[in-house]
Amino acid sequence: MSSNQILAPKVEKPSDRAWWKSATVYQVYPASFCDHGSSGFGTIKGITSKVPYLKDLGVDILWLSPIYQSPLADMGYDISDYQALDKRYGTLDDWKELRDELHKRGMKLVMDLVVNHTSDEHAWFKESKSSIDNSKRDWYIWQPSKVNEKGEKKPPNNWKSIFGAGPAWEYDETTDQWYCHTFLKEQPDLNWENPTVRKAIWDMMHWWMKQGCDGFRMDVINFTSKAPGFPDAPIVDPSREYQPFGNLSINRPRVHDFLKEMYKEVLEQYDLFCVGECPGDEPVSAFAPYSIPSNKELQMVFHFHHQGFDRGRGGFGRTANFDWKLSDFKKVFNHWQVEMEKEGGWNSNYLENHDQPRTISRIASDHPEDRAKSAKLLSMFHCSLGGTIFIYQGQEWGLCNVPRSWGEEEYKDIETIQEIEGERQHRKKATGEANPDVSDVLKYMRQTARDNGRTPMQWDDSDNAGFSKGTPWMRVHDDYKEWNVSAQSKDDASVLAFWKKMLRIRKQYEALIYGIFVPIDEDNESTYAYVRDDKTKNEKLLVILNMARGTGRGEKSTFNIPKDIDVSKAKLLISNGSEAEGSSLASDVLDLEPFEGRIYLL
């Protein structure tokens, strides 16, 4: 197949209902998805073998987390060659086979674009590090030391790395300078102020488009600009030497300049799918410009505001608040659903991904008696939010957090390891104890750690859950005998069957994608309710979800439908309870069973 046959031309489509807005995107975390052999590590051929499963589920776009050549310091988000694949996953020919199997089913293949930083083993960084005079020295961010009153060399500022408790700088003895790494020291940040760096990135993107790639998910793309002069961050925790850098390296104005240039040099030349990952705590108005069509930047972004409702502290902390209120949860979603539309941007809706814990354990209940119903409730919630929907592997059949009995040694993620060890060292210094207690940190990890979303997919009840014929790189969840794709595929009442149905309903009733979002009874601590109103299609739906939680279990609730909502012609489209589909509303007072949800066509 020639590159001309592969390349998707740019096609002008109506901006209000472009193809990508109604798409169902499925994220694959390749290491944990499917190993076609016995390496214990997921492979591209393994992913290809599951394309029929994804098509049957209702997936339009497959997004692959990084599969590039990498030392895997951060599971592939440290790339040493953007145009080579890691041999653990397979070859470029394997990738092309996956591309073809998707394309012939009308599906698209999206790659992860990780260009805020590279691996420290990338050829660019090796050159940059070799000497101050090297031509690639300013491809990365280098600064001289600060010298304290004791004459000690210290980092250029007090910025804390995202991972661990240490600085966002690493000292290099050879050149007597520090390089910036907002994440691991093995992930040096690129200098986006250098136009030659940007040109190299555009060239790499064009190369992937010529291979038949259909778009990009852009990792922490709003980190790419730093505050001039690298000033110290405000001190938010006086007990610690290094502080979160916040807006000194997040959502800076220059990011928009960079993305407009990316659009002009790359994106507008193809019919692509593009979403940017954009952490930060600014209001909707700061994130909407990325996706406003006239700005010519991206189609949508991932924000993180809804990932903090149950966290014990802001930023990237993995502590947990187990007593969060439903009204706080609703406040975030309602605000973004309503305000993003007003701002003219477009929402991307995800509940889970490779960086987040499982929502059943987090929002509802993974108790054996609640789990299936909880998963179905969350499916109704997720699929009725306005914007493009993103499903993370395992979410569609009810995967939950790792067992509470697992010890510290089972956690493989570098962030978790550094979080625990960083806190251990901090407490050693503060208390003088040789081995301070960090059991509270581990308790938080069991609720919030990234490892919760990275256990291998459970395809059947055979050894290793059918994930691999070898020893898995990460332990398979203990419940795989009862909870797996094979068992659910044979059960019309399963979570998997419910998700398929919910995705079909979402495509059938476009009010769930494009309709105005109208919150109802926002202070209600038991029930989450809202109307989706699509005036273009003259279509209106009522969503009612009982999210009441007692001591970790669901509770019954009663919901009063407001008098100004006409339910005289209401018809039940779908429910995870006993109410018959197609039934009408006999009363405007609903008695809901624990974790029961209903969606009515009004």
219 flagged as catalytic:
yes
Average pLDDT over residues 187-216: 98
Q: Does 316 have pLDDT greater than 70? A: no
**Residue 285: CB partners within 8 Å, gap ≥ 6?**
339, 343
281 flagged as catalytic:
no
Q: What is the pLDDT of residue 329?
A: 95
- Distance between start and end Cα atoms, the chain: 49
Q: What's the pLDDT tens digit per position in 253-284?
A: 999 999 999 999 999 999 999 999 999 999 99
Q: Does 311 have pLDDT greater than 60? A: yes
> What's the CA dihedral at 213, 252, 228, 114 to 10 degrees?
-20
How far is Cα of residue 197 from the mean position of the Cα atoms in its chain?
A: 26
Q: What is the pLDDT of residue 7?
A: 41
Q: Does 387 have pLDDT greater than 70? A: yes
Q: Pairing state of beta strands 571-575 and 597-601?
A: antiparallel
Q: What is the mean pLDDT of the chain?
A: 94
Average pLDDT over residues 391-408: 95
SS3 category, 19: helix
Distance, in Å, from the CA atom of 480 to the CA atom of 32, rounded to the nearest integer, reads 14
How is residue 425 written in tokens?
């060292």
Q: Which of 5-19, 279-293, 371-385 is predicted with the least confidence, judged by mean pLDDT?
A: 5-19
Q: What's the pLDDT tens digit per position in 102-117?
A: 999 999 999 999 999 9
Q: Does 6 have pLDDT greater than 80? A: no
Q: Which of 86, 170, 214, 219 is catalytic?
A: 219
Q: Does 4 have pLDDT greater than 70? A: no
DSSP state of 385: S
Torsion 164-166-169-175 (CA) sign: negative
Q: What is the pLDDT of residue 317?
A: 60
Q: Does 326 have pLDDT greater than 70? A: yes
3-state SS, 529-565, equals: EEEEEECCCCEEEEEEEECCECCCCECCEEEECCCCC
Model-wide pTM > 0.85: yes
Q: Does 5 have pLDDT greater than 50? A: no
**Residue 391: CB partners within 8 Å, gap ≥ 6?**
24, 25, 26, 27, 59, 382, 499
Average pLDDT over residues 238-256: 96
SS3 category, 256: helix
How is residue 346 written in tokens?
């477009």
**How far from 32 is each of 65, 276, 451, CA to CA, in Å?**
11, 23, 11
Q: What's the pLDDT tens digit per position in 456-508?
A: 999 999 999 999 999 999 999 999 999 999 999 999 999 999 999 999 999 99
Rounded to 5 degrees, φ, ψ at 234 are -60, 145
Contact 448, 311 (CB under 8 A): yes
SS3 category, 170: strand
Q: Which of 112, 277, 297, 355 is catalytic?
A: 277
Distance, in Å, from the CA atom of 582 to the CA atom of 575, rounded to the nearest integer, reads 10
Contact 137, 128 (CB under 8 A): yes
How is residue 99 written in tokens?
């591309």
Distance, in Å, from the CA atom of 440 to the CA atom of 318, rounded to the nearest integer, reads 11
Q: What is the pLDDT of residue 320?
A: 84
pLDDT bucket at 69, cuts 50 / 70 / 90: very high
What percentage of the chain exceeds 90 in pLDDT? 87
**Residue 179: CB partners within 8 Å, gap ≥ 6?**
128, 129, 140, 141, 142, 169, 170, 172, 188, 189
Q: What is the pLDDT of residue 553?
A: 87
**Residue 256: CB partners within 8 Å, gap ≥ 6?**
289, 290, 295, 297
Q: Does 315 have pLDDT greater than 50? A: no
Q: What is the pLDDT of residue 313?
A: 53
Distance, in Å, from the CA atom of 282 to the CA atom of 286, rounded to the nearest integer, reads 6
Q: Does 229 have pLDDT greater than 60? A: yes
Average pLDDT over residues 62-79: 97
**Domains in the chain, please, with CATH?**
3-12+20-118+195-404+452-499 (3.20.20.80), 123-180 (3.90.400.10), 405-448 (no CATH), 515-601 (2.60.40.1180)
Contact 452, 29 (CB under 8 A): no
Average pLDDT over residues 233-256: 96
